[in-house]
Amino acid sequence: MTSSSELQQRIERLKQSMMEKNIAGALLVQRADLFYFSGTGQNAHMFIPAEGEPALIVKKSLIRAGQESALDKIIPFQGWDDLARLIADTLPPGSKIGLELDVLPTKLYFRYQELLNGYSLIDISAIVRLIRSVKSAYEIDLIGEAAKMSRSLFEHAGEIIREGVTEIELAGRLEMQARLLGHQGAVRMRSFNQEIHYGHVMAGENASVASFFDGPTGGPGVNPSYPQGAGTRKIKRGEPILVDLVSIFGGYMIDQTRIFSIGEPALHLQEAYRQALQIKYDLIKAGRPGTTGGYLFKKAENTAARAGLANHFMGYTEKVHFVGHGVGIELDEMPIIGRGVEQKLEEGMVFALEPKFIFPGEGTVGIEDTFVVEKEGLRQLTLSDDRLHII
């Protein structure tokens, strides 16, 4: 259970940001944001005035919200008019009210427009995401527990990978092990139409197949309805096996990738793996508070170019223009370590670095680890060693 003091620190940071921007209140409904500010993921609205006591207005389940949240004011949702009345009793007409417009369905936005006629509805999502990007010691501890789960999961991968096993069978066995370790099952993503189930487990040419997924790897999946991840192809000797999995503890994620191979892969793939490690080490050395995501990405691109691998870096014909992404309650949090990103790293930010090289018809090699930004630089949270795992 998230403590009252932890929730209050988060709420106070939001209130301070709202006051700086003359926003009188925030109305939050997205589940990840609700969990962050209330400690519960029940169906609710959270109303946070810039001045005054926050309220969690719960539709279902009120009982569980009371058990899970340390907030003082938890009340039942008894209708839209009551919600409007609560806000009207707190904020004067004409006030600015912040909504999560990056994720809020348009139909629901129109409902709020009608309900809160006389108020100015504005987007508060960037403020919320920036606050969430800086983790507390409590959050980093939870991510550390997820790292222990991840290490166990990857050790299990090395024990069960066999020639002739299909990708989907390997993925299924790893997913079962993750559940046995306490994985919640769902991997939250904020971006519209982005989704992922545990991660990507693919081998050889399948790991070079592009998809809709906003990442360097995609995979064929098992049908066009969910066109990413493991397929039905059998794993072969001497090809890179990509295991990219998200482990979750207490709602908090850690992202990790390791490459396995039954026997040694081709020499040029081994060299590309070494260059991925070099990029990781370069960015660890360069990453510190005040460094921009754009600077780190350019540094990664330069290393890939010097190695003659620019065409393969973070995709082939369809590249992504980032090498790292924030992780926390969602997989696609801030900061972004990407092209042209001017946001500076701050102490407490947690993100995954995933330098990868894609070779059409052959597969993917690379590595992914999760780091926290500290005063002295980046500290790795993932616990597995860096080696290319030859079985």
Tens digits of pLDDT across the chain (391 residues): 999 999 999 999 999 999 999 999 999 999 999 999 999 999 999 999 999 999 999 999 999 999 999 999 999 999 999 999 999 999 999 999 999 999 999 999 999 999 999 999 999 999 999 999 999 999 999 999 999 999 999 999 999 999 999 999 999 999 999 999 999 999 999 999 999 999 999 999 999 999 999 999 999 999 999 999 999 999 999 999 999 999 999 999 999 999 999 999 999 999 999 999 999 999 999 999 999 999 999 999 999 999 999 999 999 989 999 999 999 999 999 999 999 999 999 999 999 999 999 999 999 999 999 999 999 999 999 999 999 999 9
CB neighbour class for 386 (10 Å; exposed up to 12, middle 13-18, buried from 19): middle
Helix and strand totals (H; E) in the chain: 10, 17
Instruction: Please name the residues in contact with 181: beta carbons below 8 A apart, sequence gap of 6 or more.
Output: 149, 152, 153, 247
Q: For residues 361 and 316, what is the distance between their CA atoms, to the nearest angstrom?
A: 11
Amino acid at 50: A
pLDDT for 329 equals: 98
Place of tokens 């081998």: 203
pLDDT at residue 13, rounded to an integer: 98
Helix, strand, or coil here: 380?
A: strand
Backbone angles phi, psi at 302, to 5 degrees: -65, -40
DSSP notation for 178-234: HHHTT--S-B---STT--BSSEEEEEGGGGG---SSSSS-----SSTTS-SS--SPB
Q: What is the pLDDT at residue 382?
A: 98
Give the model's pLDDT for residue 355: 98
How far is residue 294 CA from its own chain's centroid?
Answer: 19
Q: In what order do the strands lie in the sheet with 96-99?
A: 74-76, 55-60, 43-49, 25-28, 96-99, 120-123
Classified as helix, coil or strand, 22 is coil
Burial of 285 (0-12, 13-18, 19+ CB in 10 A): exposed
pTM over 0.95: yes
- Residue ranges, CATH 3.40.350.10, the chain: 4-132
CA count, 13 A, side-chain hemisphere, 218:
20
Residue 102 CA: distances (Å) to CA of 29, 32, 99, 125: 12, 13, 9, 6
Domain with CATH 3.90.230.10 in the chain: 134-390
For residue 70, the 8-state DSSP code is: -
Distance (Å, whole) CA 350 – CA 371: 6
Domain 134-390 belongs to what topology?
Creatine Amidinohydrolase (3.90.230)
Strands (E), 50-198: 55-60, 74-76, 96-99, 120-123
The pLDDT, as a whole number, for residue 2 is 97
* pLDDT for the residue 297: 98
At 166, is the secondary structure helix, strand, or coil? strand
Q: How far is 134 from 136, CA to CA, in rounded Å?
A: 7
Only one residue has tokens 């850690």, namely 254
Asked whether the bond before 93 is cis by omega within 30 degrees of 0, the reply is no
pLDDT at 76: 97
CATH of domain 4-132: 3.40.350.10
Helix (H, G, I), strand (E, B) or coil at 177: helix
Q: How many C-beta atoms surround the C-beta of residue 375 within 10 A?
A: 7
Q: What pLDDT was estimated at residue 263?
A: 97
**Euclidean distance between CA atoms 147 and 379, whole angstroms:** 13
